[in-house]
Amino acid sequence: MHFIPTRAAGLARLAAFTPAAGRRYAETRNADDGPAEGGRGNVSQLSPWLHAGLLGTREVLEAVLREHGPRASEKFVAEVFWRIYFKGYLEQRPAIWEDYRKGRDGALAALDANAGLRKAYAEAVEGRTGIAAFDVWAKELVATGYLHNHARMWFASIWIFTLKLDWQLGADFFLRHLIDADAASNTLSWRWVAGLHTRGKHYLARAENIARYTAGRPEGPLAAEGLDEDAAPLSEPQEFPRRGLDLPAQATAADLAAPFALLLHDEAAHHAPLALPARPALVIGASRPAVRSPGTVAPLARSFAEQAVAGGIAEAAQDLGCPAVEWRAGEPLAPLLAAAGVERIALPYLPTGWTRDALWPDLAPLSDKGRVVTLLADLDRATWPLAKAGFFGVAKAIDGILEAAAIG
C-alpha cells in the first residue's frame, strides 16, 4: 500500500475497502498477509488518513454502515470505536503520556550508558534478533511505515517479554516509523500488551498463533522460535487518577461571527470532516511530526504528516476562499494573525500528545483571553466520557451513540 497524504486518496481507499468491511472483515481481519502489492484486502489500512484527520470517523462509519448495516459491520465499527476510546481514555489520564515520555527518556539514557543494552536494542530495531517473524516486522515497519494490528501485538509482546527491552523504547520505535503514529492508540496499546492498561492482563505472543495467522504471506508462515510464552505481566507502582473531562460545547456560527483563523494540524489536516459552522478569514497549517520523539522520525512518517497539512491548507484556501499560511516550528503565531487582521482561532481539538505539547504554549495565551473556539467531533463528545476504564463501557453504548448521531 502506498499511503498518499491527501483526502482524495483516503476517500478512494475507503471506497475500495468498504465492500470488505462486513462479515469478511470480521472473519479475516486477524490474518497478516504481508505488505505485497494487492495483499491486505482484509483490513482497511485507513489509519494514516484517520490519524491525520484527512478522513473523519463519522464518514468512515457512515460508508460502512450504509453498505453492510449494523450487524454485519459490528466488528469493524467496534475497531473504529477502539480508536475513539483510546483518545478519550488518555484525555482523562494525561499523566500516562507524561509518564511515557519520562520513561522513554530514562530508557534512552540507559541505552547510552550500557553497551549490552545498546546492542540488544540495535538488533531489535534493525531486525537482527534471530527471531524470524520479529525481524521481518522490524524491517517491514521501517520500509513501509505500517504494520498489521496483529503484527503490532506480537511485535510488542516479543519486545517486552522475550527480548526484555523497555516498552517505552518499543513505543518510541513505533512512533518514529508508523505513518499512523498516534499518542493515544500507541501508548495505550503498548501498555495493554504489557499488562499495564488492564492491570495484570498481558498479551503473550505464541509461535503457533503467529504461524497460523501469517500463513497467507507470500513467503509462507513466519517462524518465531525461542519466545517466552510464560512471562509474567509488567507492573508499576503508580496509579494514574482520572481527571474530569472539560469538553467544549458544540461550536456555532455565533461563536465564529468575528473574523477567525482556522488552524489545521497533524491530527486535523483537512477542513471537510470538521463541519465548520462559518467560513474562516485565514487558514493556518501547523505540522510538527519531528517532535514525536527525541530520535529521528523516519522520512515516510514525517513527510506524510507534513504533506497532509500542506495539502490540507491549500484545499481549505481554495474551498473556503481565503488565504492560507504555514506556521513553522519556532515561529511565533501572533504575527501571522496580526497580518491577516484576525484575533480568534478555530482549533480542532488538540488531544494529549506531541502535537498538543508543541502547539499549546502559543495557543494558551489566546485561549486565556477567550479567543480560541475548540471544535470537537460529535462522536468524540459522546464517547469520551464513557472511556473511563475498560473498552466494555464504550462497547455497550455504541448502538446508542450511533443512533443519537444519526449514523447508520
Ligand X SMILES: Cc1cc2nc3c(=O)[nH]c(=O)nc-3n(C[C@H](O)[C@H](O)[C@H](O)COP(=O)(O)OP(=O)(O)OC[C@H]3O[C@@H](n4cnc5c(N)ncnc54)[C@H](O)[C@@H]3O)c2cc1C
Q: What does the binding site for ligand X look like in residue numbers (CB under 6 A)?
A: 29, 43-47, 50-51, 79-80, 82-83, 86, 149, 152-153, 156, 174, 178, 180-182, 185-186, 189-190, 193
Q: How far is the CB of 315 from ligand X (least distance, A)?
A: 22
Q: Where are the alpha helices (DSSP H) in 114-214?
A: 115-125, 132-144, 149-157, 167-177, 183-194, 207-213
Q: What are phi and psi of 126, to 5 degrees?
A: -95, 0
Smaller CB separation from ligand X, 184 or 284: 184
Q: How far is the CB of 118 from ligand X (least distance, A)?
A: 23
CA atoms of 64 and 21, how far apart (whole Å): 6
Nearest to 10 by CA among 57, 50, 38, 41: 50
Q: How far is the CB of 84 from ligand X (least distance, A)?
A: 8
Q: How far is the CB of 312 from ligand X (least distance, A)?
A: 18
CA atoms of 87 and 100, how far apart (whole Å): 15
Smaller CB separation from ligand X, 323 or 393: 393
Q: How far is the CB of 93 from ligand X (least distance, A)?
A: 16
CA atoms of 99 and 144, how far apart (whole Å): 29
Quote the Cα angle for 306-311-315, to 5°: 150
CA atoms of 373 and 277, how far apart (whole Å): 11
Smaller CB separation from ligand X, 30 or 303: 30
Q: How far is the CB of 103 from ligand X (least distance, A)?
A: 15
Smaller CB separation from ligand X, 255 or 267: 267
Q: Where are the alpha helices (DSSP H) in 165-298?
A: 167-177, 183-194, 207-213
Q: Count the neighbouring beta carbons within 10 Å of the beta carbon of residue 71.
A: 8
CA atoms of 44 and 76, how far apart (whole Å): 9
Which residues have CB under 8 Å from 237's CB, separation 6+?
Answer: none
Element (H, E) at 346: strand 344-348
Q: How far is the CB of 150 from ligand X (least distance, A)?
A: 8
Smaller CB separation from ligand X, 174 or 327: 174
CA atoms of 62 and 54, how far apart (whole Å): 16
Q: How far is the CB of 221 from ligand X (least distance, A)?
A: 20
Smaller CB separation from ligand X, 39 or 221: 39
Smaller CB separation from ligand X, 209 or 367: 209
Smaller CB separation from ligand X, 178 or 210: 178
What is the tally of helices (H) and strands (E) in the chain?
A: 18, 5
DSSP state of 264: E
Q: How far is the CB of 289 from ligand X (least distance, A)?
A: 13
Exposure of 273 by Cβ count < 10 A (0-12 exposed, 13-18 middle, 19+ buried)? buried
Q: Count the neighbouring beta carbons within 10 Å of the beta carbon of residue 249.
A: 10
Smaller CB separation from ligand X, 29 or 217: 29
